[in-house]
Amino acid sequence: MSMERARAHLRKYGLEERIIELKASSATVELAARALGCEPEHIAKTLSFADGEGALLILAAGTARIDNPKFKARFGMKARMLPAERVEALIGHGVGGVCPFGVLPGVPVYLDESLRAYDVVYPAAGNDHSGVRLTVEELYRASEAVGFVDVTK
């Protein structure tokens, strides 16, 4: 169901045909890069953070790491990843397939500046056997991002 929600969301932007369904797992950056035939930094990983009782998403380059002081300065709170058992209920996608497409209402999406270094990136498409080939501009538009943030090292 999660992939169908992501597919329907991408259809609104004319990007549904960019979904790549994989035989191999894409649940981690390393697995996704191997399955998609790209370098790990081209994977647009989606990080799920607790935001009070809700959540927020940050997409970052696959090799980027959260910089805790930058995160706290930007969001006014400590960077706390969502516990795995709460991800699907708060985001609408399960661990390994979390993406910014078709998330539950009220979940803000941000893109990290680390993505701007790449012409093409590959976020997941709602499950752990998928990816979507997008430019950063297409990702920004289709993710309905609030904006870009600088919260990685």
Give the H/E segment covering residue 149. Answer: strand 147-149
Q: Name the residue ranges covered by the structural domains of the chain.
A: 2-149
Residue with tokens 């995160």: 71
| Helix, strand or coil, per DSSP, at residue 32 | helix
The predicted model scores a pTM of 0.95
Secondary structure (DSSP) of 44-74:
EEEEEEEETTEEEEEEEETT--B-HHHHHHH
Res 5 pLDDT > 90? yes
Which pLDDT value is given to residue 1?
A: 62
Helix extents (H) in the chain: 2-11, 29-36, 68-75, 84-91, 136-143
- Percent of the chain's residues with pLDDT above 70: 99
Architecture of the domain spanning 2-149: Alpha-Beta Complex (3.90)
Res 119 pLDDT > 80? yes
pLDDT tens-digit map of 11-59 = 999 999 999 999 999 999 999 999 999 999 999 999 999 998 899 999 9
With cut-offs at 50, 70 and 90, classify the pLDDT of residue 139: very high
Q: What is the mean pLDDT of residues 70-85?
A: 96
